[in-house]
Amino acid sequence: MLKYLNSDIVFQEIPDEVSLAINITGCPCHCPGCHSKYLWNDVGEPLTDEALDKLIEPYRNQITCVAVMGGDACAAEVDRLMHNLRQRYTKLRTAWYSGRSQLSPSLNINNFDYIKLGPYLAHLGSLRSRHTNQRMYKITNGKMQDITSRFWRRS
């Protein structure tokens, strides 16, 4: 079962989107240098379809995307939640930040508009670094297009 600790409206995690970012707990990745170690613990409330509705409703007319931040311990549940969300909120886009290097075989990428893959490696940096191992993909017609360079600052 997925649990979440908190959520917030964010503007930088998904390009061109106003996202409701939901922080999932119980992260199994334990990346060295992780900025969110508090999400390693199995704490928080269950993230059910009903809980997701309660998180979305106050912002329904302001957000364009729902981004699940973590959930690698239960990729199939992230997939199920995003599938159901797309059925109920047809105008909202969906995103998943995964710390894994590869997609779980239990995932249907058509349930997502964006997927970030890759553990955080401090010596390579985050998505903002041109040297990062992490990748952000935009999903269109079942194909993953790498859009990581959209995070890099032009100088």
Give the tens place of pLDDT for each residue, 130-151.
999 999 999 999 999 999 999 9
Third-level CATH fold of 3-151: TIM Barrel (3.20.20)
What is the amino acid identity at position 128?
R
Do residues 122 and 33 make contact, with C-beta atoms less than 8 angstroms apart?
Answer: yes
pLDDT at 66 over 90: yes
Residues making up the chain, counted from first to last? 155
Q: How many angstroms separate the CA atoms of 41 and 63, rounded?
A: 28
Do residues 98 and 74 make contact, with C-beta atoms less than 8 angstroms apart?
Answer: no
Domain boundaries, given as residue ranges, for the chain: 3-151
Strand-strand pairing, 3-10 and 19-24: antiparallel
Q: Does this model's pTM top 0.85?
A: yes
